[in-house]
Amino acid sequence: MAEEPPPLGPLRAATTGEQVAHRLSTAIALGEFSLGDRLPSERELAALLEVSRESVRAALRRLTEAGLIEVRRGRGGGAFVRAQWAESSETSVREALLAQWEDFEALFDYRRLIESLIARTAAQRATDDDRAAIRAALTAFEGSANPAEARRHDTELHLVIARTTHNARLVRLHQLLLSEVSLGVSEEPYTWEIYEEARPHHRDLAEAVLGGDAERAAEVAGEHFAITENALRRLAARVGRDRP
């Protein structure tokens, strides 16, 4: 389990490049840019973020090294979001997982708790507008034509539910957790298998929220978000862990 930080330890200053890299990776994790998408050009990013182009380039170098993006030169080039598992060797995955395993345990536990709270609160606070939005998001999800689309609609549905709490901070926490989990596990591809597993959960969750059944919503959410955790556990096992 991660430690509580000491009250007055050293201050680690993040360079501008690191901060930009964090922003960008978060945006990618939140689906702002999907697989294969091109990020804005360096000059555009520099303008958007109001930093120098050099800082943007420092960030892109980081993301490239992390395997998150791929940079192509020339006209029509730019930084493209890469399929995550593409070239990361299994041993590097294993090392990453093992090194941070305690953190992940805590992170997933945290996420399950928070998402249960969000579901519970959403069920208690849903207005008619919220209900309409949830229904629309659920329909969109269930009509997904391919995994990429399913993933987008999945994210969107959960976002709509988070918004139903009518608390911007909870929404932000939801997004923060989503991005942390996505980046932490390097975003396993969204397969039809996962889709099929998530589908009934989403329906149950939506119905509980729509029906105002807070307890049930909390419970279903708890189970649902165990999916990611289990997927990670399976992955860890596949990669060859020795721990339970």
Partner DNA sequence: CGTAAAGGTCTGGAAACTAGACCTTTACCC
Partner DNA sequence: GGGTAAAGGTCTAGTTTCCAGACCTTTACG
**Is residue 167 a contact residue for a copy of itself (CB under 8 A)?**
yes
Q: Is 106 helix (H, G, I), strand (E, B) or coil?
A: helix
Residue 113 contact, options a copy of itself, DNA, none, Cβ 5-8 Å cut-off depending on partner type = a copy of itself
190-226: b (≥16 Cβ within 10 Å) or e: beeebbeebbebbebbbebbbeebbebbbbbbbebbe
The mark string for 70-89 relative to DNA (x by CB under 7 A, - otherwise) is: -xxxxxxxxx----------
Q: Pick the stretch among 53-61, 123-131, 145-153, 179-187 that binds DNA (CB under 7 A).
A: 53-61
Nearest CA-CA partner of 179 in 38, 21, 40: 21
**Is residue 27 a contact residue for DNA (CB under 7 A)?**
no
Q: Which is nearer to a copy of itself, 4 or 242 (CB)?
A: 4
To a copy of itself, the closest distance from the beta carbon of 45 in angstroms equals 8
Q: Residue 81 forms beta bridges with which residues? A: 69
To DNA, the closest distance from the beta carbon of 179 in angstroms equals 22
**Is residue 80 a contact residue for a copy of itself (CB under 8 A)?**
no
Q: Residue 78 forms beta bridges with which residues? A: 72
**Is residue 64 a contact residue for a copy of itself (CB under 8 A)?**
no
Q: Which residues contact 219 (CB under 8 A, 6 or more apart)?
A: 116
**Is residue 53 a contact residue for DNA (CB under 7 A)?**
yes
Nearest CA-CA partner of 120 in 198, 204, 209: 209
To a copy of itself, the closest distance from the beta carbon of 188 in angstroms equals 22
